Amino acid sequence: MKGLIGYFLHSYTVSQRFFGPVAGIMITVLILYSYKPNPVMSSYSATAVFLFVACAWLGLSFLNHEQAVQKQVVIVQLRSARRYSIGSLLTLILLTLLLDVIIVIYPVLAGSFQEPAGLQRILLSLAGHALMGLLGITLSLYLQSSWVPRAGYAAGMMLILLILSISAGKVAEVVPGPVVSILLPPVYPVMDRMMNAETLPVSSVLGAYAHALAYIILLAGFYIYRSGRMDYSKTI
């Protein structure tokens, strides 16, 4: 698996498709912290939402960066489409965690906050950013070209899901019941708990994190299961 992840990192780097999402999130974070001082958790909540959007874009560009023939050859060599999918997912998790650490540690080192962040807030922010990034990744899994062949449809669906997920609090006021909280990625609860982490009990924040983690595991698990049953010679 280590060799497969190395291959993915090399091929994705060579394709240069990483530049857009990575540059986008880095520039956004730099602009946000160019004004000092900043409140700690409100700023982290904002950058977590930026990371959610960036990782959805990153995931889609990563999963579509290989040529169809190249992808087919790799799957044949591995003799397992499921192993290919697990390797690509682990590579995306690695990239997400790398961005997570950079985004959380940068304002601390740059002295961008109005007060010391503290270990507890840093740990909550690392976990929150990781979950938000992985939520973006899970959306991209189901919108890659082998699942949604038309790029325009995939981009449109991605945009709609991003907007609805971020504004789920307002959407829930229009659509009563548990529909919104069940169907939409739990971006809004994580964003809200992070923003109000200093006034809410830790259990409330961790509850939102657990909800997001369960959502990620469920979608990633079904993706891996379904990938092993797909005929990629017909879908790519």
What is the pLDDT at residue 236?
Answer: 46
What is the pLDDT at residue 231?
Answer: 64
Which residue stretches of the chain are H helix?
2-15, 19-32, 40-63, 68-78, 81-110, 119-141, 151-166, 168-174, 179-183, 187-195, 202-227, 232-235
What is the pLDDT at residue 75?
Answer: 84
The total number of residues written for the chain in this structure? 236
What is the pLDDT at residue 234?
Answer: 56
What is the pLDDT at residue 232?
Answer: 59
Give the single-character DSSP code of 150: -
Assess contact for 232 and 162: CB atoms under 8 A: no
Average pLDDT, consecutive stretches of 10 residues, N- to C-terminus, the chain (236 residues): 88 88 92 87 92 93 86 82 90 95 93 87 93 93 86 88 84 71 84 87 89 93 83 56
Give the single-character DSSP code of 27: H
What is the pLDDT at residue 164?
Answer: 87
Closest CA to 53 of 91, 73, 76, 24: 24
Return phi, psi of residue 53, to 5°. -65, -45
pTM score: 0.89
